[in-house]
A = this chain, B = another copy of it.
Amino acid sequence: MIENELFKALADPTRRAIFEKLASGAMNASALRDGMTISQPAMSQHLAVLRTARLVREERQGRFVNYEVDPEGLALIAAWLTKYRAYWPARIDALKILLKDMEP
């Protein structure tokens, strides 16, 4: 069940920070690391968790590994949200923004 991997991956603040940084542009693990006080193995482990959650995907480039946001994970969260759309009308401030941004 991928939902479990997804929410567990996002439950850690360090992992959310990594994801957020990656959202500003694809980069390799070392580039991700500088600016953050985190060891190399820790970063590698976090990226592995994000990868199995489909929040991030990798692309080998020589001896570097380029990481980027995997839209799949975000789509899965959106899909999870749709299950509870019955409760949206009661509080749509954020959802209106979401709606506006989706317009062609």
Residues of A within 8 A of B (CB): 1, 3-4, 7-8, 10-11, 13, 16, 20, 23, 69, 71-72, 74-79, 81-88, 90-95, 97-99, 101-103
Contact = CB atoms under 8 A, between A and B. Distances in A.
B77 A101 contact: no
Given A76-B94, A77-B77, A79-B97, A86 B13 contact: no
Given A75-B91, A76-B94, A81-B81, A4 B13 contact: yes
A interface SS class: helix
A78 B94 contact: yes
Contacts of A103: 99
A23 B81 contact: no
A82 B94 contact: yes
Contacts of A10: 7, 11
A98 B83 CA distance: 9
Contacts of A101: 82, 85, 88
